[in-house]
Amino acid sequence: MNKLIDLSGQKFGEYTVLSRDNEKKSSITYWKSVCSCGTVRSLPGVWLRKGTIKSCGCKMKNRVTTECLNCGKKMEYRKSILKKCCCFACSGQYRSKCANPFNIYIRSIVSRIKHHKPDCEISLNAKDLEIQWEKQEGKCPFTGKKMVHMRREKHEKNPYQASIDRINPKIGYINGNIRFISLMANYAKHLFTDAETIEFFINVSLYQKHP
């Protein structure tokens, strides 16, 4: 049997080992260690010796403080990774069948920004979208018809499925610049103005009536 190496008092990265953690019931030896910022954690000795972990995360560069877009809780993330739209607690709500339907739109927007518009601004939360939906009474501004909410399962497309449209495509997803429009109308509008889109729809209608 290998002799236990006492790590007490030794320094590994930002961590200083305090004492062995006898409360941990494991085949691996854990050590109570304090980070230079004061955070105390129980860490496997092998992680400390091999440099697998060097700090509690307080020394990580390029960290951004933001708020959960659902509950407003403060959280941090690194710029180099996907911008978080929700905290850990709210993540579970998104997976719940009874989740607020407007959370799905927030996740869709964040995913779109990550893959296609990394510099686009977003300052919305689920409550903002709910207010906008009530303001529109769930109707598409182009067709006047009631829209159906986006579903988690995206296998089937519905022309009247609600989608988020930026009124001015040059501005981000902020209050006053977003609205709900039907999916098909959003596909047609894309980067065009409302006037251009409506003129196109009129021409399509006229031609179909009198080809």
- Domain of residue 41, residue span: 11-50
Q: pLDDT grade, residue 180 (50/70/90)?
A: very high
Q: What is the percent of the chain with per-residue pLDDT over 70, rounded to a whole number?
A: 76
Are 120 and 173 in contact by the 8 Å Cβ rule? The answer is yes
Least confident piece of the model among 50-64, 153-167, 173-187: 50-64
In this predicted structure, the answer to whether residue 205 has a pLDDT above a threshold of 50 is yes
In this predicted structure, the answer to whether residue 28 has a pLDDT above a threshold of 50 is yes
> Could you report the per-residue pLDDT of 133-144, keeping only the tens digit for each?
999 999 999 999
Average pLDDT (187-197) is 89
The answer to whether residue 210 is domain-embedded is: no
Are 104 and 150 in contact by the 8 Å Cβ rule? The answer is yes
CATH number for the domain harbouring residue 190 = 3.30.40
Average pLDDT (19-23) is 87
Which two structure tokens, joined as six digits, stand for 12?
Answer: 């590994």
Which pLDDT score, from 0 to 100, does residue 6 have? 86
62 vs 154: CA distance, rounded Å: 35
> Could you report the per-residue pLDDT of 78-109, keeping only the tens digit for each?
544 444 455 555 554 444 433 567 888 888 88
Q: How many structural domains compose the chain?
A: 2
Which pLDDT score, from 0 to 100, does residue 58 have? 74
Same-domain check for residues 38 and 107: no
Same-domain check for residues 98 and 187: yes
The answer to whether residue 3 is domain-embedded is: no
Same-domain check for residues 108 and 39: no
42 vs 33: CA distance, rounded Å: 6
> Could you report the per-residue pLDDT of 67-78, keeping only the tens digit for each?
655 555 666 555
For the entire predicted model, the pTM comes to 0.53
Give the residue, 100 or 189, on which the prediction is more confident: 189
Same-domain check for residues 181 and 140: yes
182 vs 204: CA distance, rounded Å: 17
Same-domain check for residues 107 and 75: yes
Q: pLDDT grade, residue 126 (50/70/90)?
A: confident
In this predicted structure, the answer to whether residue 189 has a pLDDT above a threshold of 80 is yes
Same-domain check for residues 130 and 171: yes
Same-domain check for residues 45 and 69: no
Least confident piece of the model among 76-80, 121-125, 171-175, 199-203: 76-80
Same-domain check for residues 88 and 181: yes
Average pLDDT (179-201) is 91
Same-domain check for residues 33 and 75: no
The answer to whether residue 56 is domain-embedded is: no
Mean pLDDT, the chain, whole residue set: 79
The answer to whether residue 211 is domain-embedded is: no
Are 33 and 40 in contact by the 8 Å Cβ rule? The answer is yes
